[in-house]
């Protein structure tokens, strides 16, 4: 395919009006490259703040979809359903893109034409946009992804962007170390990462749901994976769910519950043909009763990261 990829930037917004204008501008002011900025869409998921006014001011630049509150999963699902580009670049409205994001990702698309999924690193900033971490951080969350729309449609509906990670596990993804998103951590972020176990329980739930979805797809596999490969990827996400479950139990100081999950995690890891190192780390943590993930001191941004 020699034509330039058309990219749809889709901004997901619920009561992030104070950040929305910056998110919109970051999509519209991308550096030129071997791609077409096909559209910029804002999905306003039942906001009650200044989001509607911001959208009204920018109506000549964007397409707005405003509806009653339906939640993050439905909004992310609609990002793929309602866009019409070849690729979808979702963006949480409290984050923003570096001006080189689309150019950088388009260059990666051109060099790996079989890729259906791209993720990249991020700069972590505070509520005012000031650096929160000295060095760039690995991505994987909503604002650090591009996904080929046709491939994304085969995974819908989704509850979280982790569903799109299946494309990476199928060997159809690229991971770039370019930090071309600014990822904002602030007190009004969506997900609680300060209460022990809450974030990890959510991640485990998402991974189990994805594992079940992939297993159900084996009888009629999509073009990007065979039925056998889907079975292995399903096991990968079951093992990942167990890893999150171990971490949740340790955060809650429930060491026996963590140890109970270790054998199943090992079985799924072996079936998935995954490296054993993550399993050993979870085993060591469970034995000593010490979690691997530090809790934040306030609500943290993303269990969907």
Q: Dump pLDDT digits (tens) for 110-151.
A: 999 899 999 999 999 998 999 999 999 999 999 999 999 999
Which two tokens mark 213?
A: 């979805």
Q: Is residue 301 scored above 80 in pLDDT? A: no
Which two tokens mark 39?
A: 């559209």
CA distance linking residue 184 with residue 172, whole number of Å: 28
**Average pLDDT for residues 148-167, to the nearest whole number?**
98
The model's pLDDT over 41-62, given as tens digits with 9 standing for 90+, comes to 999 999 999 999 999 999 999 9
**Average pLDDT for residues 209-234, to the nearest whole number?**
97
The model's pLDDT over 20-37, given as tens digits with 9 standing for 90+, comes to 999 999 999 999 999 999
Q: What single DSSP character describes residue 112?
A: -
Which two tokens mark 189?
A: 């972020």
* Per-residue pLDDT at 113: 87
pTM above threshold 0.75: yes
Q: Is residue 287 scored above 50 in pLDDT? A: yes
Q: CB-based contacts of 169: which residues, under 8 Å, 6+ apart?
A: 233, 236, 237
**Average pLDDT for residues 87-108, to the nearest whole number?**
98
The CA-based dihedral angle spanning residues 63, 68, 70, 76, taken in that order and rounded to the nearest 10 degrees: 0
* Per-residue pLDDT at 305: 33
Q: CB-based contacts of 176: which residues, under 8 Å, 6+ apart?
A: 104, 105, 108, 118, 119, 120, 121
């Amino acid at each position: 395919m020699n034509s330039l990829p058309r990219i749809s930037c889709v901004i997901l917004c619920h009561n992030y009006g104070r950040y929305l204008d910056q998110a919109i501008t970051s999509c519209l002011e991308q550096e030129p490259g071997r791609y077409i900025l096909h559209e910029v869409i804002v999905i306003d998921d039942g906001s009650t703040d200044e989001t509607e006014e911001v959208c009204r001011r920018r109506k000549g630049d964007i397409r707005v979809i405003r509806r009653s509150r339906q939640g993050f999963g439905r909004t992310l699902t609609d990002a793929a359903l309602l866009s019409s580009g070849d690729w979808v670049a979702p963006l949480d409205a409290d984050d923003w893109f570096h001006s080189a994001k689309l150019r950088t990702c388009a260059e990666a698309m051109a060099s790996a034409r079989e890729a259906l999924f791209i993720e990249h690193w991020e700069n972590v900033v505070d509520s005012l946009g000031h650096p929160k971490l000295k060095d760039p951080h690995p991505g994987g969350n909503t604002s650090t992804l591009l996904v080929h729309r046709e491939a994304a449609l085969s995974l819908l509906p989704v509850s979280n962007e982790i569903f799109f990670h299946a494309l990476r596990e199928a060997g159809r993804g690229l991971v770039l170390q370019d930090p071309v998103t600014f990822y904002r951590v602030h007190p009004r972020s969506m997900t609680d990462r300060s209460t022990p176990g809450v974030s990890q329980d959510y991640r485990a739930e998402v991974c189990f749901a994805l594992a079940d979805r992939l297993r159900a797809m084996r009888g009629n596999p999509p073009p990007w994976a065979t039925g056998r490969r889907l079975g292995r990827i399903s096991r990968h996400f079951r093992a990942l769910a167990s890893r999150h479950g171990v971490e949740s139990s340790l955060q809650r100081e429930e060491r026996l519950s963590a140890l109970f999950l270790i054998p199943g995690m090992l079985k799924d890891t072996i079936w998935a043909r995954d490296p054993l190192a993550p399993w050993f780390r979870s085993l060591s943590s469970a034995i000593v009763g010490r979690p691997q993930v530090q809790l934040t001191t306030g609500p943290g941004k993303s269990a969907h990261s």
